[in-house]
């Protein structure tokens, strides 16, 4: 995966005469990827549980519509709008969860219906018109920056926390196996330092850390913890791998599935907020095909469509890869039609790889 990134970076950089690898472009690239990354995390959790969500684009659009209406027609403040948007997202998630779990309609069908109905509802509420402009403080939720001076501090703090976590992990594994692997720890810390330095170079070289990334980071940390350290996450993998056995082991499938859809719902709200803030408007094409990007990102990041396998971090990496391809092609002035074809092929390739890897692991 790392190699793929380096190759893509180099290829795009050479083809674009050095525009690609500039702090400005990379900052914009990361900000652009934030929305996909947020929903990709949610859909990867659903896929891990053996469900799917095809309604993401429409649901995010509808959340954005809600945000625009609240602010423009009712004059709700920025904070209130965000809370209400997430609440709308939770409602949409609860709706899909109820049909999937309560009525036992496959989530494929429920969310396919959502794909149509949510966008339709948004069009009905707005007459398919663009609602603009959002307030400046609202727009800053995605477009703002943490100033470079503070960015240094933030990056240093994150690096320190990262080193601390690595040392602790190494300690506990040493306790288990009996021997401390110090060289490995040093390599890991060095890698972390390189990544942190690169990120700092990007951020400080432009205008600081984009606020959109803070959302991704926040969601990422919370969901990573949820999926790797809690009962909820553990059971998610068990349900996805063998639902019947999980049920017979006393795991409440219904609660966990509804939980998954609610998480997805909250992420609709956050992504809807980011999207509306980014454009400072709700536009009728917002979020179109977002579900495909999200699913592709999850699968590229190692989530298996057969359920039970995948990580939140992988979904973020997958989103980064997709947006890199997007951004690179845009810089090279490749027509947006061709871009669609290329992204379609990337999705196909990702699924083909998923299949091939599964086959191999079955044989081994």
Residue ranges binding other proteins (CB under 8 A): 172, 176, 229-232, 234-235, 237-238, 241-242, 244-252, 308-309, 364
Closer to other proteins by CB, 245 or 338: give it.
245
Work out how close the CB of 364 gets to other proteins at its nearest, in angstroms, rounded to a whole number. 7
Of the candidates 103, 37, 79, the one whose C-alpha atom is nearest the C-alpha of residue 87 is 79
Closer to other proteins by CB, 13 or 241: give it.
241
Closer to other proteins by CB, 44 or 235: give it.
235
For residue 168, give every residue at least 6 positions away whose Cβ sits within 8 Å of its Cβ, in sequence order, or none.
Answer: none
Closer to other proteins by CB, 2 or 175: give it.
175
Give the Cα separation of 236 and 232 in Å (integer).
Answer: 6
Work out how close the CB of 307 gets to other proteins at its nearest, in angstroms, rounded to a whole number. 8
Work out how close the CB of 302 gets to other proteins at its nearest, in angstroms, rounded to a whole number. 13
Phi, then psi, of 146 in degrees rounded to 5: -80, 120
Work out how close the CB of 166 gets to other proteins at its nearest, in angstroms, rounded to a whole number. 16
Work out how close the CB of 207 gets to other proteins at its nearest, in angstroms, rounded to a whole number. 38
CA distances from 262 to 14, 165, 268 (A): 44, 30, 10
Closer to other proteins by CB, 24 or 229: give it.
229
Place of tokens 């949409």: 92
Closer to other proteins by CB, 17 or 176: give it.
176
For residue 276, give every residue at least 6 positions away whose Cβ sits within 8 Å of its Cβ, in sequence order, or none.
Answer: 64, 67, 68, 85, 134, 138, 282, 286
Tokens of 162: 């990262």
User: Could you tell me if 57 and 291 are in contact, meaning their C-beta atoms sit under 8 angstroms apart?
Assistant: yes
* 307 DSSP assignment: S
Work out how close the CB of 40 gets to other proteins at its nearest, in angstroms, rounded to a whole number. 21
Place of tokens 């500039």: 22
Closer to other proteins by CB, 48 or 279: give it.
48
Work out how close the CB of 256 gets to other proteins at its nearest, in angstroms, rounded to a whole number. 12
SS3 at position 31? helix
Of the candidates 211, 224, 214, the one whose C-alpha atom is nearest the C-alpha of residue 41 is 224
């Amino acid at each position: 995966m790392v190699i793929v990134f380096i190759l893509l970076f180099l290829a795009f950089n050479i083809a674009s005469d050095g525009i690609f690898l500039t702090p400005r472009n990379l900052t914009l690239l990361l900000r652009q990827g934030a929305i996909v990354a947020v929903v990709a995390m949610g859909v990867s959790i659903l896929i891990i549980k053996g469900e799917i969500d095809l309604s993401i684009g429409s649901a995010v659009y509808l959340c954005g519509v809600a945000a625009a209406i609240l602010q423009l027609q009712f004059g709700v403040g920025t904070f209130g709008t965000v809370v209400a948007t997430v609440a709308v997202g939770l409602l949409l998630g609860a709706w899909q969860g109820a049909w999937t779990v309560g009525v036992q309609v496959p989530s494929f069908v429920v969310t396919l219906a959502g794909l149509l109905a949510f966008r339709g509802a948004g069009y009905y509420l707005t007459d398919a018109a663009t609602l603009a402009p959002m307030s400046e403080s609202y727009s800053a939720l995605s477009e703002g920056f943490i100033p470079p001076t503070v960015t240094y501090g933030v990056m240093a703090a994150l690096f320190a926390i990262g080193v601390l976590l690595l040392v602790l992990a190494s300690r506990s594994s040493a306790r288990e196996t009996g021997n401390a692997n110090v060289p490995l720890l040093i390599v890991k810390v060095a890698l972390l330092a390189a990544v942190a330095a690169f990120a700092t170079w990007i951020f400080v070289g432009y205008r600081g850390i984009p606020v959109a990334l803070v959302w991704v980071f926040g969601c990422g940390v919370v969901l990573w913890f949820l999926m790797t350290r809690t009962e909820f996450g553990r059971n998610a993998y068990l349900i996805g791998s063998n639902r019947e056995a999980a049920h017979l082991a006393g795991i409440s499938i219904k609660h966990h599935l509804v939980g998954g859809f609610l998480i997805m719902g909250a992420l609709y709200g956050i992504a809807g907020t980011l999207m509306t803030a980014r454009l400072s408007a709700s536009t009728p094409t917002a979020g179109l095909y977002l579900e495909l990007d999200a699913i592709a990102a999850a699968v590229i990041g190692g989530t298996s469509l057969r359920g039970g396998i995948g990580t939140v971090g992988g979904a973020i990496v997958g989103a980064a890869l997709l947006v890199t391809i997007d951004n690179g092609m845009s810089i090279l002035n490749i027509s947006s039609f061709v871009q669609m074809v290329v992204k379609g092929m990337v999705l196909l390739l990702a699924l083909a790889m998923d299949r091939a890897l599964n086959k191999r692991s079955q044989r081994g």
